[in-house]
Amino acid sequence: MTDYTVEFVGTGEEITVSDKETILKRCIDEGIAQEYSCRVGMCLACSAKIEAGEVTQPAARGLTDEEAEEYALTCMARPLSDLKLDRGKYPPSIEDAAADGGDAAAADD
């Protein structure tokens, strides 16, 4: 088991997360106010832009392969290195769906 430092950009918050636990779990344990809803990698509420570092998140089904390189779903993501995350930043697929009133997501079904 390896521990990594996760820093949240612009908040001054920093936590230590094991490579065996999700970032969201550690946030909840530490009292960090991280948004979430489904906790299964689908809703994207817990999304954060990866400013530095790497994560593994094979079960993050709500992201495209390209988005998974730039965004972490904290409910699924486990650190592979020290990280800098910008919380509340959402991938283009969710931003596009919001701009279209949700129609873009429905079109993918």
What are the extents of the domains in the chain? Answer: 3-107
Place of tokens 């009133």: 101
Among 8, 92, 16, 18, CA closest to 48: 8
Place 80 in a pLDDT band, splitting at 50, 70 and 90. very high
Q: Which is higher by pLDDT, 96 or 80?
A: 80
The fold adopted by the segment(s) 3-107 is: Ubiquitin-like (UB roll) (3.10.20)
- Residue 96: the pLDDT is 58
Query: Angle at CA 92, nearest 5°, toward 86 and 93?
Result: 125
- Cβ neighbour number for residue 34 with a 10 Å cutoff: 22
- Residue 41: the pLDDT is 83
Query: Angle at CA 78, nearest 5°, toward 45 and 23?
Result: 50
Place 105 in a pLDDT band, splitting at 50, 70 and 90. very low
- Residue 43: the pLDDT is 86
Query: Angle at CA 105, nearest 5°, toward 104 and 106?
Result: 90
Among 72, 7, 10, CA closest to 36: 72
